[in-house]
Structure 1
Amino acid sequence: MLKDEVNKALKIVQDGGIILYPTDTIWGIGCDATNTEAVKKIYALKQREESKSMIILVDVDNKLQSYINEVPDIAYDLIEFAENPLTLVMPGAKNISPALIAEDGSVGIRVSSHPFCQQLIQRMRKPLVSTSANISGQPSPEYFSKISQDIIDGVDYVVDLDQHITQIKKPSTIMRLAPNGAFEFIRR
């Protein structure tokens, strides 16, 4: 089941499509983080300003340096010891679509612990865009049945996993992390 869903989602993202999928936090809308056209489809679907950047997911922490110029050593400790899913916003973003990079050159990046995300990212060999499955300005859906029909109809594929789970999940904690290791919370 998991393998089948990973295979179906992989084909969609490789073809430049966007998917609706479960994560270790709330449901996300995603695509290949190196494909600018696909990224723009997500901005259009969410009716989101392109100046509001979206985060990317990787499957393991040793991939951080593939997408961030200088990863401070403390980043690995923060990820390892975080009690909740943690998104780190770091400067020096590279090797991803320019549409995902904030004006200051930063990007938010999270190591996902969800088996679907890990396997899909591993197979893609690229990071996966992750943004909440809602129209910009509306509340983030706590679980699948709260996702609006506009979002479901607007993606190219809805991953058929975890749709029955109604445990309320929260978005990740977000921290801004400077190359010198200084950090601040953006969202706890």
Structure 2
Amino acid sequence: MSVMYTHRIMGAFDLRRLKQHLRRGGVIAYACEACFGLGCLPNNQRGLRQIMTIKQRPQSKGLIVIGDSLNRLQPLLKPLTPSQTELVNQAWPAAKTFIIPCSDKVSALLRGNGRDKLAVRVPAHNDARLLSKLVASPLVSTSCNRSGKRFCTNTREVKRQFGRQVIVVDGRIGRNKQPSQIFDLLSGRRLR
């Protein structure tokens, strides 16, 4: 990975500052397949509450988590069978989210109240995967918009809608016109 490529992704913010922001419970906005996503560290309660507050989203709804690989996401999940591992690894990277049984340690804010599964994805967006790799963590990935409003597709829209509530990581969204498809891993049923 080249330094120039990393700098383009990080824009005006250096990686050390971004990691500190995330560790303190800060929220970032970054480009994904179809729109900008709002993200935080998935194990940071303050960050999760911040996302719910700025999106005006009910805390009972779960959030999607992305990573640069299944290995990055695995600590949040219950162990997968070899066939399940093969299935998701063959499907990813893609705009395909799987609902998978999660670890008991995963916050209810992340998985949704009363749920024992987590929505996870290795995105088909190089910059989003690189961002996860650079911060060495999975990232929450929910559409960058207030609940019920149009999602943001560029940095100007993010700044207009959220101002200084988030740090914007420069980037361009992918070519997808729709949000990721969602499948239940155990049943194989498409949910979205």
Q: What TM-score, normalized by structure 2, do the two folds share?
A: 0.80
Matched, 1:53 2:62: yes
Partner of 1:171: 179
Distance 2:78 2:53 in 1: 29
Q: Tell me how far 1:128 sits from its aligned partner.
A: 0.2
Q: Tell me how far 1:63 sits from its aligned partner.
A: 3.1
Matched, 1:161 2:171: yes
Matched, 1:140 2:148: no
Unaligned runs of 5+ in 2: none
Matched, 1:185 2:176: no
For the Cα contact (< 8 Å) 2:33–2:123, is it kept in 1? yes
Q: Tell me how far 1:18 sits from its aligned partner.
A: 0.4
Partner of 1:109: 120
Instruction: Specify whether residues 97 and 121 from structure 1 end up closer, same or farther in structure 2 by C-alpha distance, changes over 3 A only.
Output: farther
Counterpart pick for 1:38 among 9, 26, 47: 47
Distance 1:131 1:33 in 2: 12
Which range is displaced more, 82-91 or 123-132?
82-91
Partner SS state of residue 116, structure 1? helix
For the Cα contact (< 8 Å) 1:20–1:27, is it kept in 2? yes
Unaligned runs of 5+ in 1: none
Instruction: Specify whether residues 94 and 85 from structure 1 end up closer, same or farther in structure 2 by C-alpha distance, changes over 3 A only.
Output: farther
Deviations 1:113-161 (A, max 9, x none): 43332232223332100000111122334x2168365633153311122
Which AA in structure 2 matches 1:62?
N
Distance 1:161 1:149 in 2: 13
Matched, 1:126 2:137: yes
Q: Tell me how far 1:59 sits from its aligned partner.
A: 0.7
For the Cα contact (< 8 Å) 1:14–1:32, is it kept in 2? yes
Counterpart pick for 1:3 among 3, 6, 9: 6
Partner SS state of residue 11, structure 1? helix
Instruction: Specify whether residues 32 and 83 from structure 1 end up closer, same or farther in structure 2 by C-alpha distance, changes over 3 A only.
Output: closer
Deviations 1:78-134 (A, max 9, x none): 452469511101123355444202222111000124333223222333210000011
Partner SS state of residue 183, structure 1? coil
Distance 2:100 2:66 in 1: 13
For the Cα contact (< 8 Å) 2:92–2:121, is it kept in 1? no
| Count of paired positions | 181
Q: Tell me how far 1:26 sits from its aligned partner.
A: 1.9
Which AA in structure 2 matches 1:30?
G
